[in-house]
Amino acid sequence: MKFKFLKTLAMTAAILQSGSIMTIAEAIPDVSAQSYIVIDADSGRIIGSRNADQKLPIASTTKIMTSILAIENAGNLNKKIEVPSICAGIEGSSIYLKPRQMVSVIDLLYGTMLRSGNDAAETLAAFAGRNSQEGFVDMMNQKAVEVGAYNTNFMNPSGLHDDNHYSTAYDMAVISRYAMKNDVFREIASTVKYKALSLGTVLYNKNKVVYEYEYGSGIKIGYTKAAGRCLVASAKKDGTEIIVVVLNDQNWFNDSYRIFDWAFENYKSYFIAEKNQYAGTSPDGNPVFVDQDFSYLLTEDENGKVRFETEYCVPHKLNSDSGTIYGTYKILLGEEVIHTGKLIGYN
C-alpha cells in the first residue's frame, strides 16, 4: 500500500514552499577541458559534465588516493620514518628528501598534497604498503573499486606517466568526495601553508584554489606533458560544497572558478529530511519517523518538485534500542528516486 505525502512532513513542506518565484538554472559555462565533471560533495549529484567517463592520464591528482590511503593505514601520523634510498631523487616534483632522512608521516602527507612531492608520495607508499610499492598500488586499485571508481587503474603512487595509469573525471570526483570526508585529509587539502618541523621548512600549497577563490576548500593539482593540466577543486559556500574535476585544461583554475560561480548561483543544498522527523501514521495507528538526515543539491525550480512516497510492510523489530521498521520511504525529484530510507516506530 503506497501513500504520497507532499505535506505530511511539516518541515519539508515548509522548505518546498520557501521560494515564491521559481527559476531555471542557467547553462553551465563553456570550459576548455577535454573532460570535466561537477558534483555535489554531500549527495554526489552530478550537475554538469563532458566526457566524464573518458579514460585519461591524471598526473599528480593521483596523490589524492595515495594520501587518503596513507592516512587510513599509517597509524600514528606524527611518527618519524626513514626515507628509503629508492624514494629519494625521484624525477618530477620533489620536496628533496635524502636517503635515510627521518621525516614525520604528517609532514610527508603535506609534502605530497601541497608540494606534490613524488619523493614524499613514494615514501608514504613504501611505509603504508609495508615496504612494497606494488602492494600499495594494489591497495590503491582495490580502494578505487570499493568507492565506485571502476574506470581507474593506478600503476604508481605519484602520477608519473604510464600508459596503463589512468582515471576519468567521474572517478576522480568519486575518489575525492570519499577523501574529503576524512577530517585529516580535508585539513591538509585546504591548507595554504604549513610548517613542516621534521623537514625544517614551510610548505606552500601549489593549489591556488585554496587562497585565490573566495570559497575554495581544496584539493589537488597535477601536470605532466601527457596529461596536461589537471585539477580537482572544491569550494564551499553557505553549507553547499561543490567538487569540480577538469582534465587536460589549459585554463584549469579560471574554468573551475567560473563553474563554482555558476553552481553557487543556481544551486544550493536543501535539507529535505531530518532523522526522527515525524512521517505519518502506519496502518495500525502507530506514528513513524524518518531514519536519517538527507539533504540534496537543487535549483529553486527543482525544490518545488521534490516529493515523498511511503510503503508500509509487516512491522519487525530491529533490536531493543533501535525500534521497529514499519516500512520504507522514497524521496523523488520528479520521477527520479534520489533517496530511500526506513520508516521507524519506537513504541
Residue-level pLDDT at 319: 72
Based on the fold, state whether residues 98 and 152 are members of the same structural domain: yes
Q: Does 333 reside within a domain?
A: yes
Residue 67 has pLDDT above 60, yes or no: yes
- pLDDT band at 105, cuts 50/70/90? very high
Residue-level pLDDT at 346: 85
Q: Does 27 reside within a domain?
A: no
Task: State the sign of the Cα–Cα–Cα–Cα dihedral 148, 152, 154, 160.
Answer: negative
- pLDDT band at 13, cuts 50/70/90? very low
Based on the fold, state whether residues 49 and 7 are members of the same structural domain: no
Residue 23 has pLDDT above 50, yes or no: no
Mean pLDDT of the chain: 91
Based on the fold, state whether residues 204 and 278 are members of the same structural domain: no
The listed range with the strongest mean pLDDT (10-19, 128-137, 144-153) is 144-153
Based on the fold, state whether residues 185 and 291 are members of the same structural domain: no
Residue 242 has pLDDT above 60, yes or no: yes
Residue-level pLDDT at 265: 97
Q: Residue with C-alpha cell 547553462?
A: 27
The total of structural domains in the chain comes to: 2
Q: Which of 250, 281, 311 is the last residue of a domain?
A: 250
Residue 47 has pLDDT above 80, yes or no: yes
CA distance 323 to 316: 9
Residue 17 has pLDDT above 90, yes or no: no
Q: Looking at residues 150-155, what average pLDDT do you find?
A: 98
Residue-level pLDDT at 20: 30
Based on the fold, state whether residues 77 and 218 are members of the same structural domain: yes
In 3D, which of 216, 187, 335, 271 has the Cα closest to residue 9?
271
Based on the fold, state whether residues 194 and 312 are members of the same structural domain: no
Based on the fold, state whether residues 118 and 189 are members of the same structural domain: yes
Q: Tell me, what CATH number does 204's domain have?
A: 3.40.710.10
Based on the fold, state whether residues 275 and 236 are members of the same structural domain: no
Give per-residue pLDDT as tens, 26-37: 799 999 999 999
Q: Does 183 reside within a domain?
A: yes
Based on the fold, state whether residues 232 and 86 are members of the same structural domain: yes
Residue 173 has pLDDT above 60, yes or no: yes
Which structural domain range is residue 314 located in? 2-20+271-345
Could you give the residue numbers annotated as active site?
60, 63, 116
Residue-level pLDDT at 134: 84
Residue-level pLDDT at 48: 97
- pLDDT band at 56, cuts 50/70/90? very high
Residue-level pLDDT at 320: 62
CA distance 274 to 239: 16
| 3-class DSSP state of 19 | coil
Residue-level pLDDT at 162: 97
Residue-level pLDDT at 24: 52
Residue that wins the pLDDT comparison between 230 and 129:
230
Q: Does 25 reside within a domain?
A: no
Give per-residue pLDDT as tens, 256-294: 999 999 999 999 999 999 999 999 999 989 899 999 999
Based on the fold, state whether residues 204 and 295 are members of the same structural domain: no
